[in-house]
């Protein structure tokens, strides 16, 4: 407008193409089974994204939100769709806007008090983004159902493949203005997982999204832009129905066309397609464009076929299982994970006389003996709770009212995650064995009572024998003392000038009486070892020191060298263990080589078990003691013989002794729950090896009869 001119200039701009373009875009949006929403970023003064505002969305978005387009277009996502902002998804959207990197993830969203799974794709668009929500809840449920049936068939090897495929191509270009509708349409089409198509009915040309070429293996130069290409690649058996349906939709201007058919891929194989589209009309209601989206549901079809096949196999296996178990002598049953019975074989019905209806779930408890019911229920509930094998014995009532004993066992069947999915069990009739067991148990009790009675009689006999040995040794030693004493008096007083023969005979009488006295004392010591004694926690080094003190004169006379290592504290009978060390060390000082200085070495080490060849162990509960000398030694084939009472390897004229000392030593070691052996070689000395426990299981007190005998 010019102030000097009285008039106006009017400009007319043809925007029909823009209107058509918007209609195309809306048609694409509305033909997709996925919810597609475009958002614009809302920024604060620091240019930070604080919210997202709807620009536009398709019909699927209306259905998802259960709102009309007018109710949310231009509104804040925080106000209308707060569920989407949880679990960091808003931050993910900000990252997409800032970096331009697309987002592809699966989310579980709560729509209208119902949790559903969605495949979510977000792509930058100007200062905003486009988000596509594809409901994959059915695929998730199908996957879970297939997995359950998979394990019902027990280790069937075919695995259920994931129904999702990756997004074929990510959007590379950006768009900033709403007027660039065609570019935005291509961007959204390439962002979705479906193969988007746009059929120009006027020019009879079809535009395919990039996902079409990626998914089906074709190239743009293959003549794909012609509508005939589409129809020619539909399976011959489906072509007529698809052609009639799509032409009917075009003629009627249908805004919601869908069908299912098989489409040939570039490699010659067929994919099962669910196709959905909408016809766009101009202002004269004339169809000029049709847009739609193809979803490849081949995997879902295959999964459904596999599921059906597995169900058939499961039914066949169940029939075979029932056929086999009906011929088994045991009752066979199974339960669900919660313990409710869902199967019995023929043996159950024949024995109980019950029907399946009366037996299912907990009906089996009807035939349990009342005295066994509570115990059986507790064991069964414990197995259900812990997953441990169920095993118990109980009585069940037969159809004629007679109760018989059964052994019940059940084991759980688990899936790959360790969850129990079923229990399988058997009931085996053990009534006859139970009766035999009761009879045998009675016999064992009677025999045990007899053995206990015999043990008491034997113990009394041993006490009497010990008393007799004590009295006998006293009565035998008294005349021997007189013989020894009077023989010495005769020799000293009356045979001083007698001939050598008389003196020799008298010496023999004196030595024989002394040897007889020592023999009686050793026999009494050997007998008394059968009497129980009290174990005391004592240092083994202290015991050895006392023995060496008693043998000090002999050690000095022999000029012997004795080395003693540090030994542990052990539970021992001190008097008996002192005798063990005294017998072995005395023998080492007795059986020495001529002109060789005696050398005795005592060592010890802790070991892991009560065995001669046990390995050393720092925290062992047993000690291995080795007493080594450099004496005359002996042939090692006699190693066991030397521990036998009255057994000697040398003549009495060579080495004095009764032949009882080592027998006493072995008996003492064995009463300490240990073991002893000897290793030797003639002319190279001997090693005595003892193994003793550091701790005795329990102290053994002397009995009153034994104490009386010892007195």
Q: Identify which of 634, 628, 630, 631 has the alpha carbon closest to the alpha carbon of residue 682.
A: 634
The phi and psi torsions of 290 (rounded to 5 degrees) equal -140, 125
Radius of gyration of the chain (CA): 52
User: What does the block give as tokens for 697?
Assistant: 């299981």
Classify residue 367 by its DSSP letter.
G
The phi and psi torsions of 66 (rounded to 5 degrees) equal 55, 40
Residue numbers in the chain where pLDDT is lower than 70: 1-32, 150, 152-193, 222, 311, 313-327, 361-363, 459-482, 484, 486, 494, 496-501, 511-533, 638, 645-661, 698-711
| Interstrand relation of 561-564 and 599-607 (parallel, antiparallel or unpaired) | parallel
Classify the phi-psi angles of 259: left when phi > 0, otherwise alpha if psi is within -120 to 50, otherwise beta.
Answer: beta
Classify residue 213 by its DSSP letter.
H
Rounded CA separation 184/655 (Å): 118
Rounded alpha-carbon distances, angstroms, from residue 107 to 90, 129, 193, 242: 13, 18, 15, 35
Give the up-direction half-sphere exposure of residue 466: CA atoms within 13 A in the CB hemisphere: 23
pLDDT for position 203: 85
Under a CB-based contact definition with an 8 Å cutoff, are residues 29 and 36 in contact? yes
Cα 249 off chain centre by? 61
Check: pTM over 0.85? Answer yes or no: no
Rounded CA separation 218/204 (Å): 19
Q: Identify which of 329, 367, 331, 364 has the alpha carbon closest to the alpha carbon of residue 348.
A: 331
pLDDT for position 177: 43
Under a CB-based contact definition with an 8 Å cutoff, are residues 108 and 81 in contact? no
Q: What is the DSSP string of 60-107?
A: HHHHHHTS-HHHHTT-BHHHH-GGGGGGGHHHHHHHHHHH---EEEEE
Rounded CA separation 329/346 (Å): 10
Under a CB-based contact definition with an 8 Å cutoff, are residues 575 and 599 in contact? no
């Amino acid at each position: 407008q010019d102030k000097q001119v009285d008039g106006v200039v009017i400009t007319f701009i043809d925007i029909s193409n823009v209107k058509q373009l918007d209609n195309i875009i809306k048609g694409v949006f509305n033909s997709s089974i996925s919810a597609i929403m475009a958002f614009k970023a809302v920024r604060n003064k620091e240019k930070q994204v604080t919210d997202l505002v709807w620009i536009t969305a398709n019909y699927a978005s209306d259905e998802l939100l259960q709102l009309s387009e007018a109710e949310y277009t231009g509104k804040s996502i925080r106000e209308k769709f707060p569920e989407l902002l949880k679990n960091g998804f808003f931050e993910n959207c900000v990252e997409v806007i800032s970096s331009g990197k697309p987002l592809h993830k699966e989310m579980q969203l709560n729509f209208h008090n119902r949790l559903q799974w969605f495949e979510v794709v977000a792509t930058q668009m100007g200062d905003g983004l486009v988000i596509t929500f594809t409901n994959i809840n059915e695929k998730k449920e199908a996957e879970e159902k297939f997995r359950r049936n998979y394990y019902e068939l027990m280790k069937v090897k075919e695995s259920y493949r994931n129904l999702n495929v990756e997004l074929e191509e990510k959007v590379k270009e950006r768009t900033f203005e709403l007027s660039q509708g065609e570019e935005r349409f291509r961007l959204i089409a390439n962002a979705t997982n479906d193969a988007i198509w746009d059929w120009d009915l006027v020019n009879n040309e079809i535009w395919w999204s990039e996902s079409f070429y990626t998914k089906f293996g074709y190239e743009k130069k293959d003549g794909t832009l012609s509508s005939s290409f589409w129809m020619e690649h539909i399976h011959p058996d489906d072509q007529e129905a698809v052609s009639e349906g799509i032409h009917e939709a075009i003629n009627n201007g249908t805004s919601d066309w869908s069908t299912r058919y098989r489409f040939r891929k570039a490699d010659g194989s067929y994919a099962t397609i669910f196709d959905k589209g909408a016809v766009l009309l101009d202002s004269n209601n004339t169809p000029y464009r049709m847009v739609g989206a193809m979803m490849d549901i081949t995997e879902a079809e295959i999964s459904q076929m596999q599921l059906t096949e597995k169900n058939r196999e499961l039914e066949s296996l169940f029939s075979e299982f029932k056929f086999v178990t009906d011929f088994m002598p045991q009752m066979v049953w199974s339960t669900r994970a919660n313990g409710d019975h869902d199967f019995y074989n023929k043996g159950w019905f024949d024995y109980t006389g019950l029907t399946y209806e009366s037996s299912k779930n907990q009906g089996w408890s009807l035939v349990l003996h009342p005295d066994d019911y509570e115990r059986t229920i507790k064991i069964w509930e414990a197995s259900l709770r812990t997953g441990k094998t169920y095993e118990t014995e109980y009585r069940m009532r037969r159809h004629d009212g007679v109760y018989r004993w059964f052994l019940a066992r059940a084991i759980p069947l688990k899936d790959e995650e360790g969850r129990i999915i079923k229990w399988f069990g058997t009931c085996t009739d053990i009534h006859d064995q139970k009766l035999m067991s009761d009879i045998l148990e009675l016999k064992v009790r009677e025999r045990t009572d007899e053995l206990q009675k015999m043990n008491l009689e034997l113990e009394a006999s041993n006490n009497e024998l010990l008393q007799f040995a004590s009295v006998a040794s006293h009565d035998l030693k008294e005349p021997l003392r007189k013989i020894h004493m009077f023989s010495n008096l005769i020799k000293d007083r009356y045979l001083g000038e007698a001939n050598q023969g008389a003196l020799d005979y008298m010496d023999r009488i004196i030595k024989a009486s002394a040897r007889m006295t020592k023999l009686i004392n050793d026999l009494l010591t050997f007998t008394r070892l059968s009497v129980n004694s009290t174990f005391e926690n004592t240092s083994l080094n202290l015991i050895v020191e006392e023995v060496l003190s008693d043998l000090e004169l002999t050690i000095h006379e022999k000029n012997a060298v004795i080395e003693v290592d540090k030994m542990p504290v052990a539970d021992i009978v001190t008097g008996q263990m002192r005798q063990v060390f005294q017998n072995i060390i005395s023998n080492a000082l007795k059986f020495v080589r001529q002109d060789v200085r005696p050398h005795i070495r005592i060592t010890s080490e802790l070991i892991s078990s009560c065995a001669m060849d046990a390995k050393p162990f720092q925290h062992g509960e047993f000690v291995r003691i080795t007493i080594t000398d450099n004496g005359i030694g002996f042939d090692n084939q006699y190693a066991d013989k030397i521990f036998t009472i009255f057994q000697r390897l040398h003549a009495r004229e060579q080495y004095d002794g009764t032949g009882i000392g080592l027998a006493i030593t072995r008996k003492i070691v064995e009463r300490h729950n240990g073991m002893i052996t000897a290793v030797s070689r003639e002319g190279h000395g001997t090693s005595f090896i003892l193994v003793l426990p550091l701790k005795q299981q329990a102290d053994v007190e002397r009995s009153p009869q034994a104490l009386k005998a010892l007195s």
